[in-house]
């Protein structure tokens, strides 16, 4: 007999992990890399969070901008100024 309200169980059967192609691929990858499945999953989640966490993405973009000259190119600035000056508004 269920001890929790029915809404807790609603759709539960549809939400279990399906040992389908993704999990089989993860199993093969773990064997090929000589790592445990949990290590592969842990690294995958770490990578996913790093790529999708907006603060992390912003930090990575800022780090690149610190290394690259992001000042406007004088030639392009002048070309844009001339085009805008010649454009009828």
The count of structural domains within the chain is 1
Q: What is the pLDDT of residue 35?
A: 95
Closest to 50 (Cα-Cα) out of 34, 37, 38, 63: 63
Domain-embedded: residue 76: yes
* Spatial distance between the Cα atoms of 37 and 34, rounded to a whole number of angstroms: 9
Range of the domain at 53: 21-86
Q: What is the pLDDT of residue 69?
A: 86
pLDDT, tens digit only, all 89 positions of the chain: 556 666 555 555 555 556 688 888 999 999 999 999 999 999 999 999 888 888 888 888 899 989 998 888 999 999 999 999 999 88
CB neighbours of residue 40 within 10 Å: 19
pTM across the whole model:
0.46
Q: What is the pLDDT of residue 3?
A: 60
Domain-embedded: residue 16: no
Closest to 47 (Cα-Cα) out of 56, 34, 59: 56
Domain-embedded: residue 9: no
Tokens of 10: 């609603």
Domain-embedded: residue 5: no
Domain-embedded: residue 63: yes
Q: What is the pLDDT of residue 42?
A: 94
* Spatial distance between the Cα atoms of 66 and 43, rounded to a whole number of angstroms: 27
Domain-embedded: residue 52: yes
Max CA separation in the chain (angstroms) = 80
Domain-embedded: residue 49: yes
Domain-embedded: residue 33: yes
């Amino acid at each position: 007999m269920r001890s929790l309200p029915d809404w807790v169980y609603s759709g539960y059967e549809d939400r279990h992990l399906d040992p389908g192609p993704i999990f089989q691929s993860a199993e093969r990858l773990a064997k090929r890399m000589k790592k445990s499945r949990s290590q592969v999953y842990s690294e995958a989640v770490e990578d996913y969070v790093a790529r999708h966490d907006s603060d992390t993405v912003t930090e990575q973009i800022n780090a690149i901008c610190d290394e690259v000259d992001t000042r406007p190119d004088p030639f392009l600035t002048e070309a844009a100024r001339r085009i805008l000056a010649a454009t009828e508004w």
